[in-house]
């Protein structure tokens, strides 16, 4: 059953007005800058602040206090209970909802195993790494089989190297989860990789929504274009070689197989008037189709196989004197390219 | 509320008033038993009026505490104790060498709350278990005196509490927490109308003598003697009688 | 290990010097008691029945008073820290009144409320035949009155420092407010709770003024160690020193024993 929510929160200097629809099994990302109202929307859905009306099929959550809502929340810094073991943390929701201790512990142990933490049952949260703590938090939120899973910046507290791995794991668990998922994030990459649909929030209002590909291809405002300024493709990987679905191929540093997302930032693309000598493997001809100027950089839209965005500095811009229709060579380092299973 | 204020004020007055600065010439420092607070304060004013140029400073406290302070070298010119025993403690160390004079006597009285709700008539009632009775602990002078008079009357008292000093026993009476207590006549007088005092025949068995003497190393020996003489004068006797003391 | 020692060993003199002075200031009076103690006659004095009786009464009353303080004080601390009530600042200040009030005055105030003629006490007496002054229960009441602020203030401070978002997390997991309080809030403030309990117990154990004023002094009934010490001081300072040392040794022993156990349990 589809979940429909309308969220209206108003405070001094701020108002939030968002309608959300989430299908079963769908992951919706609420993406926006800090202060856009993303976390407030999440807290309203959880019932921690008033202002959200939620309907799932025929039933509504009106007047339900937090503890009676069928939700699971992963908080930004996880909020694991420090005095309890990992197992007790995961079993807490089940115990609170009346499951007998033995059954709750058994279910909790299964969940720890599913997130790859078998053997950590008796560990206290402060002995866990950031990635491990995040997985305990996820297991805790999912253990009660909630209808709605709310994730508040679930990767923000991790360092860059851990984030890659944890993001992939999170994606796998979200695909297995049959309920409705709302992911709040300010990181476009999280949204692109994890969500089926992206809702972009700015100053408490939805400015655009659609699949990741739609949002990237047709950003409706400059703000969105800048925010989601990522090169994102779907393709099929054979080791370090990825064939892009819409044509072209890219070499990546880490081998993968099967259906993948390929992602790299526009800053990773270099532009040259001539084909560079001793050329790196990811080199292909492109044609300038548009130029967007920002404060310190210029984003160049380039047609080619595949098409690509490149960010260049104002100095490079002056050197190359780019005009739409100019023919150039795009160069991309394999180490800058990441793949995620899709 | 007024009752609380009055009781609190009494406790504060009883507990404070220590000072250990020495007497400047023209100043007389008197260490006196707490039960002399009211009468000596009044006498001090009269003394200053009669002797222009001399100021009297008092340090009121428990006699045993005052004796210890004196033995530790506290600067004082006169010591007025509520019991000869404390005077002896000071004489033993040579802090006082003059022969003390008994200037007042205190006897016990039965104190009952206003209106006498327990219907207490005499010492015999101190043996009734159904009444709430306060006595002083035997370690303090009023407790020792109470034991003497009860023994003389042949009464086995059944107290509910053994108070740490006479003022505490009196507080219990004035609040109506006990039906009767044995306290000094002077304390009943000082409590004003809040408690009633009842004399009893055995009171003469425990008479408390109040000795007074100048301190050997008094900085103002003349002033000390003048104050002692004033206490023993007609004027002094009148004030002490008014406070409930019996005179020798 | 060695590097940690090295970096942590460099304490500034400006802190160390006053710290040592402070320690000496706190410990020297105790040294004074030990030096002046009549060690030769000590065993004979200890076997006296009154000592055991007063000590037992002190420990029982201080422990009961601490239980009373925990049962009433922890919820009060929670209300002050988390409750959404008007005039919370004023309430918080009022809770500290027993700290400021001279204990003897506190005892008089208790008499005026709970005494035989007191505002509440007269009804207790008339309806249930209950009279608190001059009873062991009265000792517990007086000690709890004086000691409770120590517990409330430390638990309230710990509660205010604790992150309320953990309580929100518990709510999203389906926990009622009561379950959240028991399983999440209370364990998270355990160090503050332990500190408050220790302070509360120690204060109750040493309580003198309010106890003797409200509960009076009768051996076996209301004479706790501090009262026995005070009265002994009137006639026999040596006995007072002995009693003080017994009280010191027992309380330091109990606190040291419990602290270890509690701290191990808390981590």
Q: Kindly list the structural domains of chain C, giving each domain's residue range(s) and its CATH number in brackets, ordered by start.
A: 41-266 (1.10.3720.10)
Question: What pLDDT sits at residue A226?
Answer: 67
pLDDT above 90 for A274: no
Question: What pLDDT sits at residue C3?
Answer: 44
More confident residue, C90 or C237: C90
Is it true that the peptide bond before C22 is cis, omega within 30 degrees of 0?
no
Contact yes or no for B139 and C104 at CB 8 A: no
For B119, phi then psi, to 5°, come to 60, 40
Quote the pTM value: 0.75
Closest Cα to residue B43, out of B245, B227, B220?
B227
pLDDT above 90 for C59: yes
Selected for mutation to probe chain B from C97, C211, C213 (highest B CB count within 10 Å) is C213
Closest Cα to residue C175, out of A69, A151, A83?
A69
Copy the structure tokens of residue B123: 């010492």
CB under 8 Å to B179, separation ≥6 — which residues?
Answer: B112, B113, B117, B118, B120, B125, B131, B132, B133
Q: Kindly state whether residues B7 and B130 are assigned to the same domain.
A: no
Contact A152, A74 (CB under 8 A): yes
Question: What pLDDT band is residue C48 in, cutting at 50, 70 and 90?
Answer: confident
| Closest Cα in chain C to A148 | C172
From chain A, pick out residues whose CB is under 8 angstroms from the CB of C166.
79, 81
CA pair distance C182, C169, nearest whole angstrom: 14
CB under 8 Å to A224, separation ≥6 — which residues?
Answer: A200, A207, A208, A215
Q: Kindly state whether residues B46 and B133 are assigned to the same domain.
A: no
- The order of strands in the sheet holding A148-152 is A59-60, A52-56, A3-11, A14-22, A205-210, A197-202, A27-31, A180-185, A148-152, A71-74
The minimum CA-CA distance between C252 and chain B, rounded to whole Å, is: 27
Q: Kindly state whether residues B12 and B132 are assigned to the same domain.
A: no
Question: What pLDDT band is residue A90 in, cutting at 50, 70 and 90?
Answer: very high
Interface B-C: count of C-beta contacts within 8 A: 72
SS3 at position B102: strand
Contact yes or no for A71 and C172 at CB 8 A: yes
CA pair distance B119, C8, nearest whole angstrom: 73
Report the residue from A65, A82, A96 with minimal CB separation from C173. A96
pLDDT above 50 for A289: yes
Copy the structure tokens of residue C147: 């000691």
Contact yes or no for B15 and C104 at CB 8 A: yes
Structural domain includes residue B23: yes
Question: What pLDDT sits at residue B43?
Answer: 94
Helix (H), strand (E) at residue A5? strand A3-11
Alpha-helical regions (H) of C10-48: 13-36, 42-46
Question: What pLDDT sits at residue A333?
Answer: 81
More confident residue, A206 or A341: A206
- The order of strands in the sheet holding A269-272 is A269-272, A327-332, A282-293, A297-304, A308-313
Question: What pLDDT band is residue A219 in, cutting at 50, 70 and 90?
Answer: low
Exposure string of A215-226, with b = 16+ CB inside 10 Å and e = fewer, is bbeebeeeebbe
| Closest Cα in chain A to C267 | A83
From chain B, pick out residues whose CB is under 8 angstroms from the CB of C227.
164
Contact yes or no for C111 and B175 at CB 8 A: yes
CA pair distance C232, C228, nearest whole angstrom: 6
Question: What pLDDT sits at residue A13?
Answer: 85
Rounded mean pLDDT of C117-138?
A: 90
Structural domain includes residue B248: no
B and C touch per CB criterion (3+ pairs under 8 A) = yes
Question: What pLDDT band is residue A221 in, cutting at 50, 70 and 90?
Answer: low
From chain A, pick out residues whose CB is under 8 angstroms from the CB of C176.
67, 96
Q: Kindly state whether residues B185 and B227 are assigned to the same domain.
A: no
Contact yes or no for C166 and A96 at CB 8 A: no
* Domain(s) of CATH 3.40.50.300: residues in chain A: 3-225
CA pair distance A53, A47, nearest whole angstrom: 10
Report the residue from C108, C109, C217 with minimal CB separation from B163. C217
Rounded mean pLDDT of A3-26?
A: 93
Contact yes or no for C230 and B161 at CB 8 A: no
Query: Rounded to an integer, what is the distance from CA A298 to the centroid of its chain?
Result: 25
Percent of chain A predicted with pLDDT > 70: 96
Question: What pLDDT sits at residue C1?
Answer: 42
Query: Which segments of B41-116 are extended strands (E)?
Result: 55-61, 78-80, 101-106, 108-113
Question: What pLDDT sits at residue B3?
Answer: 46
Question: What pLDDT sits at residue C252?
Answer: 85
Report the residue from A69, A73, A144 with minimal CB separation from C169. A73
Closest Cα to residue A148, out of A18, A62, A26?
A26
pLDDT above 90 for C57: yes
Rounded mean pLDDT of A5-14?
A: 90
Total domains, chain B:
2
CA pair distance A138, A75, nearest whole angstrom: 9
Over chain A, what is the mean pLDDT? 89
From chain C, pick out residues whose CB is under 8 angstroms from the CB of B159.
218
Burial of A156 (0-12, 13-18, 19+ CB in 10 A): middle
More confident residue, B70 or C235: B70
- The order of strands in the sheet holding B78-80 is B55-61, B27-33, B78-80, B208-214, B101-106
Report the residue from C215, C217, C235 with minimal CB separation from B164. C217
Q: Kindly state whether residues B98 and B125 are assigned to the same domain.
A: no
Contact B29, B76 (CB under 8 A): yes
Question: What pLDDT sits at residue A295?
Answer: 67
Contact yes or no for B175 and C112 at CB 8 A: yes
Q: Kindly state whether residues B14 and B99 are assigned to the same domain.
A: yes
* Vertex C207: Cα angle to C204 and C212 (nearest 5): 130
| Closest Cα in chain B to C230 | B164
Q: Kindly state whether residues B86 and B134 are assigned to the same domain.
A: no
Q: Kindly state whether residues B7 and B101 are assigned to the same domain.
A: yes
Q: Kindly state whether residues B14 and B93 are assigned to the same domain.
A: yes
Contact yes or no for A46 and C188 at CB 8 A: no
Contact B104, B188 (CB under 8 A): no
Partners for B (CB, 8 Å, 3+ pairs)?
A: C
> How many of the other CB atoms lie within 10 Å of CB of A317?
16
Q: What is chain B's percent helix, strand, coil content, to nearest 5?
A: 45, 20, 35
Q: Kindly state whether residues B99 and B178 are assigned to the same domain.
A: no
- What CATH number is given to the structural domain containing B155? 3.40.190.10
Contact yes or no for A66 and C168 at CB 8 A: yes
Q: Is A145 left (phi over 0), alpha (psi -120 to 50) or beta?
A: left
More confident residue, B145 or A296: B145
Question: What pLDDT sits at residue B20?
Answer: 38
Structural domain includes residue B88: yes
Alpha-helical regions (H) of chain C: 2-9, 13-36, 42-46, 49-82, 88-95, 97-100, 103-114, 121-123, 136-161, 165-172, 177-180, 186-188, 190-206, 209-214, 225-235, 237-266
Question: What pLDDT sits at residue C8?
Answer: 56
Question: What pLDDT sits at residue B81?
Answer: 93
Q: Kindly state whether residues B198 and B219 are assigned to the same domain.
A: no
| pLDDT averaged over 10-residue windows placed end to end, chain B, 248 residues | 44 39 68 90 93 92 89 92 91 91 94 93 92 91 90 93 90 93 91 90 90 92 93 94 89
Between the two ends of chain A, the Cα-to-Cα distance in Å is 24
A and C touch per CB criterion (3+ pairs under 8 A) = yes
Structural domain includes residue B189: yes
- CATH fold of A3-225: Rossmann fold (3.40.50)
Contact yes or no for C171 and A66 at CB 8 A: yes
One DSSP character per residue, A286-312 reads EEEEEEEE-SSEEEEEEEESS-EEEEE
Query: Which segments of B73-228 are extended strands (E)?
Result: 78-80, 101-106, 108-113, 133-136, 161-163, 180-184, 195-198, 208-214
Rounded mean pLDDT of A247-262?
A: 86
Over chain C, what is the mean pLDDT? 88
From chain C, pick out residues whose CB is under 8 angstroms from the CB of A68.
174
CA pair distance C207, C62, nearest whole angstrom: 9
* Contact status of C164 with chain A (Cβ, < 8 Å): no
For C248, phi then psi, to 5°, come to -60, -50
CA pair distance B95, B77, nearest whole angstrom: 11
CA pair distance C40, A22, nearest whole angstrom: 86
pLDDT above 70 for A135: yes
Q: Kindly state whether residues B12 and B94 are assigned to the same domain.
A: yes
From chain A, pick out residues whose CB is under 8 angstroms from the CB of C171.
48, 65-67
* Contact status of C168 with chain A (Cβ, < 8 Å): yes
Contact C218, B159 (CB under 8 A): yes
Alpha-helical regions (H) of B191-233: 221-231
Question: What pLDDT sits at residue C4?
Answer: 46
* Contact status of C264 with chain A (Cβ, < 8 Å): no
- The order of strands in the sheet holding B133-136 is B161-163, B133-136, B180-184, B108-113, B195-198
Give the range of the structural domain holding residue B144, as residue numbers without chain letter: 108-205
* Domain(s) of CATH 2.40.50.100: residues in chain A: 229-341
Contact yes or no for C115 and B7 at CB 8 A: no
- CATH fold of A229-341: OB fold (Dihydrolipoamide Acetyltransferase, E2P) (2.40.50)
Question: What pLDDT sits at residue A315?
Answer: 79
From chain B, pick out residues whose CB is under 8 angstroms from the CB of C235.
139
> How many of the other CB atoms lie within 10 Å of CB of B52?
7
B and A touch per CB criterion (3+ pairs under 8 A) = no
CA pair distance B203, B197, nearest whole angstrom: 12
């Amino acid at each position: 059953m589809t979940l429909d929510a309308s969220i209206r929160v108003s405070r001094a200097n701020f108002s939030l007005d968002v309608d959300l629809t989430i299908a079963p099994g769908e992951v919706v990302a609420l993406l926006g800058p800090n202060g856009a109202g993303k976390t407030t929307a999440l807290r309203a859905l959880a019932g921690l602040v008033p202002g959200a009306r939620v309907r799932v099929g025929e039933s509504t959550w009106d007047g339900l206090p937090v503890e009676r809502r069928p939700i699971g929340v992963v908080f930004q810094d996880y909020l694991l209970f420090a005095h309890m073991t990992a197992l007790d943390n995961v079993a807490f929701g089940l115990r609170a909802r009346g499951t007998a201790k033995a059954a709750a512990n058994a279910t909790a142990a299964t969940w720890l195993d599913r997130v790859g933490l078998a053997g950590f049952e008796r560990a206290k949260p402060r002995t866990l790494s950031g990635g491990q703590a995040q997985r305990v938090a996820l297991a805790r939120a999912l253990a009660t089989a909630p209808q709605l899973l709310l994730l508040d910046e679930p990767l923000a507290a991790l360092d860059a190297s851990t984030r890659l791995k944890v993001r992939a794991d999170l994606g796998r668990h979200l695909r297995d989860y049959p309920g409705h998922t709302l992911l709040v994030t300010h990181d476009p990459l999280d949204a692109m990789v994890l969500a089926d649909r992206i809702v972009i929030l700015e100053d408490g209002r939805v400015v655009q929504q659609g699949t990741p590909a739609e949002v990237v291809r047709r950003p409706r405002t400059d703000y969105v274009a800048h925010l989601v300024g990522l090169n994102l493709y779907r393709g099929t990987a054979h080791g370090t070689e990825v064939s892009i679905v819409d044509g072209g191929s890219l070499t990546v540093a880490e081998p993968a197989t099967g259906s993948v997302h390929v992602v790299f930032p526009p800053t990773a693309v270099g532009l040259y008037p001539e084909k560079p000598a001793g050329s790196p493997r990811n080199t292909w001809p492109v044609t300038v189709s548009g130029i967007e100027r920002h404060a310190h950089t210029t984003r160049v839209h380039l047609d080619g196989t595949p098409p690509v965005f490149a960010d260049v500095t104002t100095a490079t811009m002056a050197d190359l004197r780019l005009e739409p229709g100019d023919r150039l060579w795009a160069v991309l380092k394999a180490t800058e390219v990441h793949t995620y299973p899709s | 509320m007024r009752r609380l204020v009055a009781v609190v004020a009494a406790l504060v007055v009883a507990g404070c008033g220590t000072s250990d600065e020495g007497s400047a010439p023209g100043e007389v420092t008197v260490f006196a038993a707490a039960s002399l607070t009211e009468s000596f304060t009044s006498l001090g004013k009269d003394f200053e009026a009669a002797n222009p140029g001399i100021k009297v400073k008092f340090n009121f406290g428990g006699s045993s505490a005052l004796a210890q302070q004196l033995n530790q070298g506290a600067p004082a010119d006169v010591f007025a104790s509520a019991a000869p025993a404390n005077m002896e403690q000071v004489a033993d160390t040579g802090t006082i060498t003059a022969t003390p004079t008994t200037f007042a006597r205190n006897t016990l009285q039965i104190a009952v709350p206003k209106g006498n709700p327990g219907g207490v008539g005499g010492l015999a009632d101190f043996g009734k278990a159904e009444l709430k009775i306060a006595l002083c602990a035997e370690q303090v002078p009023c407790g020792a005196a109470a034991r003497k008079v009860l023994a003389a009357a042949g009464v086995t008292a059944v107290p509910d509490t053994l108070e740490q000093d006479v003022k505490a026993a009196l507080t219990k009476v004035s609040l109506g927490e006990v039906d009767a207590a044995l306290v000094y006549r002077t304390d009943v007088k000082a409590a004003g109308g809040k408690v009633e005092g009842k004399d009893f025949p055995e009171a003469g068995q425990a008479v408390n003598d109040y000795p007074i003497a100048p301190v050997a190393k008094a900085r103002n020996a003349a002033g000390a003697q003048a104050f002692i003489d004033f206490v023993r004068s007609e004027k002094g006797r009148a004030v002490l009688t008014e406070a409930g003391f019996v005179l020798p | 290990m060695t590097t940690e020692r090295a970096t942590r060993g460099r304490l500034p003199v400006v802190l160390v010097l006053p710290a040592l002075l402070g320690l000496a200031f706190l410990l020297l009076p105790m040294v004074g008691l030990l030096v002046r103690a009549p060690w030769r006659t000590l065993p004979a004095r200890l076997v006296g029945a009154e000592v055991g009786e007063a000590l037992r009464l002190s420990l029982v009353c201080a422990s009961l008073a601490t239980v009373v303080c925990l049962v009433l004080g922890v919820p009060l601390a929670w209300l002050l820290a988390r409750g959404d009530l008007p005039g919370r600042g004023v309430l918080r200040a009022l809770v500290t009144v027993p700290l400021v009030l001279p204990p003897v005055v506190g005892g008089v105030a208790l008499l005026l409320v709970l005494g035989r003629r007191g505002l509440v006490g007269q009804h207790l007496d008339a309806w249930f035949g209950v009279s608190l002054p001059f009873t062991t229960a009265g000792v517990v009441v007086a000690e709890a009155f004086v000691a409770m602020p120590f517990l409330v203030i430390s638990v309230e401070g710990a509660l205010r420092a604790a992150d309320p978002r953990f309580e929100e997390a518990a709510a999203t997991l389906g926990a009622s407010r009561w379950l959240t309080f028991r399983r999440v809030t209370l364990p998270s403030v355990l160090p503050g709770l332990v500190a408050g309990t220790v302070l509360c117990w120690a204060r109750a154990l040493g309580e003198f003024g309010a106890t003797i004023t409200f509960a009076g002094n009768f051996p076996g009934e209301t004479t706790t160690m501090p009262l026995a010490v005070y009265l002994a001081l009137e006639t026999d300072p040596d006995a007072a020193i002995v009693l003080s040392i017994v009280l010191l040794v027992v309380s330091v022993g109990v606190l040291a024993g419990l602290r270890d156990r509690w701290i191990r349990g808390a981590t």
